[in-house]
């Protein structure tokens, strides 16, 4: 979760750090107080987004994630696990799911609607959503899969695309759009 906050919405992360976390004492007052400061910072960040309990829960979920990571690292005798490809994938999946759970509360009008969404994730498998088409699933798969390509690959692909004439670029994009639309509902 800490890595997520260092990479996502950097302006908000910097604001929360500089104007809430550090004035609360940051990590200068011991490990227990550091976790409390993380939790308070995220709760106040949720309140800053909107004066509603669902926003506070959003901040609380992020606060619990950050405090848990800090607690785990601060334990006596803790040694950072080896950085393996499998560990990175598992940690990304966990972070993705924690962040998505928090976003349910961020977008929900009430706890009842948030609960409806959460229960629908586990029980609403009867009918396909008209928004989830084959094209959307393909776009998601390509986006996720591209994260695991060698670093030079996207640049080489974009470099080749950039060297195409404007009409060639338009043709490539048109074909991509047609493929996306043909994978939609009948």
Q: One of 49, 98, 118, 134 is an active-site residue; which one?
A: 49
The alpha carbons of the chain give a radius of gyration, in whole angstroms, of 21
* Residue 21 buriedness (CB in 10 A; 0-12 / 13-18 / 19+): buried
Q: Determine the Cα–Cα distance for residues 144 and 94; give it in Å rounded to an integer.
A: 15
Task: Assess whether 49 carries a catalytic annotation.
Answer: yes
Q: Six-digit token pair at 150?
A: 């060698």
Task: Report helix angle 53-74 to 85-107, nearest 10.
Answer: 160
Q: Six-digit token pair at 183?
A: 């994978």
* Of the candidates 58, 49, 39, the residue with the CA atom closest to the CA atom of residue 111: 58
- Kindly compute the dihedral angle of the four CA atoms of residues 65, 14, 11, 6, in this order, to the nearest 10 degrees: -40
Q: What residues act catalytically?
A: 49
């Amino acid at each position: 979760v800490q890595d997520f906050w260092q990479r996502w919405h950097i302006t908000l992360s910097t604001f929360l750090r500089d104007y809430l976390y550090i004035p609360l004492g940051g990590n200068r007052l011991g490990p227990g107080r550091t976790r409390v400061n993380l939790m308070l910072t995220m709760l106040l960040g949720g309140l800053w987004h909107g004066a509603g309990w669902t926003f506070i829960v959003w901040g609380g979920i992020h606060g619990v994630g950050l405090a848990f990571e800090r607690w785990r690292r601060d334990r006596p005798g803790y040694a950072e696990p080896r950085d393996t490809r499998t560990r990175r994938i598992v940690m990304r999946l966990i972070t993705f799911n924690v962040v998505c759970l928090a976003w349910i509360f961020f977008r929900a009008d009430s706890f009842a609607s948030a609960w409806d969404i959460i229960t629908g994730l586990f029980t609403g498998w009867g009918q396909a959503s008209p928004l989830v088409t084959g094209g959307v699933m393909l776009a998601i798969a390509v986006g996720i899969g591209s994260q695991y390509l060698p670093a030079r690959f996207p640049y080489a692909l974009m470099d080749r695309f950039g060297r195409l004439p404007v009409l060639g670029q338009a043709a490539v994009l048109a074909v991509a759009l047609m493929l996306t639309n043909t994978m939609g509902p009948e």
